[in-house]
Amino acid sequence: MQGSENLRDLFIYKALSDAQVQQYNELGYHRYGRILTDTGLQRMREECMAAWRADKGEFDPNKTWLHNALLVNIHHRSSVVRRYYFEGPLVDVAEQLLGPNIKGATSQLTFKMRGNNKPFHWHQDNGYGQLDPYNAISCLTALDHADVENGCLWIIPGSHLKGQVDVGAAGTAEAKKAWVEIKLDADETKALPMPLKAGECLFFHGWTLHKSEGNLSKDRDRRILFLRYADADAVEVYNNRAPRLGRLVRGTTKFPEVRAFEADLA
C-alpha cells in the first residue's frame, strides 16, 4: 500500500459528541458504526488474510485456541492496519476518551472461524494485562458481519464501574505468557449482544465485562481486528510496573523507551 494514499479513502472519521462521551463513561462502551470505507475494508481483509494464511492455514479443531484464534502484532505485517492503528480515526477517539498523550498498546487479529465453537469467557481486557492508569480502550473492528450465531461479542453495560476484578494468579506475567484463560462470574441477565456489520467498530473500557460464544454458523467466519490504546505513560502492573511499550501515537510520554519504540515504523 502507498503511504501517500488518502486516509479518508480508507477510514471514516467522526468525532464523538459530548453526549456520546458521557454515555461511554456511563455504559463502558460505544458503537462507532461504520469506520472503514469499502476500499479500507477490502484492503484490510486482503492484508490480514495474507498474514493469517501464512501463519495459520485452515482452522483445525485439533490445534490450540491460541493457534486458531490469535495473531499478534498484525501492524507489523499489514501497512493498512499500521496506518489505521497509528493515524486512523481511533486515535482521535482515544484522545477524546484518554486525553492528549496516547500509545498503541495491543494490535492483533482475534478470529473465530467457522467450526470454532469455543466460547471466550467473561473477562476484562485489563485482567489479561493490567495497565495503570486504568483507562485503556479496546477497539474491535469487524472484518465480517458478526452476530449471535457466529460468535459476536457480548457486553455487560456499566460493568466497568465496579473497577478492576482481582483474577489472582491468572493476572500474573507468567499467566499472560501462557494465555491462562480467565473466567469471571457475571450476571447473564444483564448481557447484551453486540452485533457488528463488516467495517463497523465497537470500543469499550478495559474494565468492561465481555465474552463471546462459539461460532455456531456453518459457513461464516467471524474475523475481528482488535486494537488497544492506553495513556502514553501507562505501566504494566503485572510486570513490576514497567512501561508498556507501544508506539506513541499522540502527545508526549515521560518514558524515553516508549518515545523510541517503533518511532521509525512507517
Ligand X SMILES: O=C(O)CCC(=O)C(=O)O
Residue 73 CB, nearest approach to ligand X (Å): 14
List contacts with ligand X (CB under 6 A): 110, 112, 120, 125, 151, 210, 212, 226
Residue 106 CB, nearest approach to ligand X (Å): 9
Residue nearest to ligand X (CB): 212
CB of 210 or CB of 220, closer to ligand X: 210
Residue 34 CB, nearest approach to ligand X (Å): 21
CB of 10 or CB of 194, closer to ligand X: 194
CB of 10 or CB of 137, closer to ligand X: 137
CB of 78 or CB of 106, closer to ligand X: 106
Residue 115 CB, nearest approach to ligand X (Å): 14
Residue 82 CB, nearest approach to ligand X (Å): 20
Query: Which of 148, 150, 141 has its CA nearest to residue 114?
Result: 150
Residue 205 CB, nearest approach to ligand X (Å): 12
Instruction: Write the secondary structure of the chain as one string of H (helix), E (strand) and C (coil).
Output: CCCCCCHHHCECCCCCCHHHHHHHHHHCEEEEEECECHHHHHHHHHHHHHHHHHHHCCCCCCCCHHHHHEEECHHHCCHHHHHHHHHCHHHHHHHHHHCCCEEEEEEEEEEECCCCCCCEEEECHHHHCCEECCCCEEEEEECCCECCCCCCEEECCCHHHHCCCCCHHHHCHHHHHHCCCCCCCCCHHHCEEECECCCEEEEEECCCCEEECCCCCCCCCEEEEEEEEEECCCEEHHHCCEECCCCEEECCCCCHHHHHCCCCCC
CB of 27 or CB of 153, closer to ligand X: 153
CB of 136 or CB of 249, closer to ligand X: 136
